Amino acid sequence: MTLLWRDTMRAGNSLIDNDHRALLEIINEVEDFLSTPDAIGNIHPILDKLETYTKHHFIREENIMRNIDYPDRLNHLKLHRQLTNTFYGIKSKIIKSSKTKINEENQEEITKLLRHWLINHILGEDLKMKPFLLNAPNM
Residues in Cβ contact with 42 at an 8 Å cutoff, skipping those fewer than 6 apart: 100
For residue 74, the cross-strand partners are none
Model pLDDT, residue 102: 67
Single pTM value for the model: 0.85
Among 97, 102, 113, which residue's Cα sits nearest to residue 23? 113
Q: Could you give the domains of the chain?
A: 20-135 (1.20.120.50)
Categorize the per-residue pLDDT at 100 as very low, low, confident or very high, splitting at 50, 70 and 90: low
Model pLDDT, residue 139: 65
Model pLDDT, residue 80: 94
The whole-chain average pLDDT of the chain stands at: 86
Task: For 4-65, give the secondary structure using H, E and C.
Answer: CCCHHHCCCCHHHHHHHHHHHHHHHHHHHHHCCHHHECCCHHHHHHHHHHHHHHHHHHHHHH
Model pLDDT, residue 76: 96
Name the range with the highest mean pLDDT among 23-32, 60-69, 83-92, 117-126.
60-69
Q: In angstroms, what CA-CA distances link 83 with 13, 59, 117, 122, 133?
A: 22, 14, 8, 11, 23
Per-residue pLDDT reduced to its tens digit, 23-50: 899 888 888 887 776 555 677 888 889 8
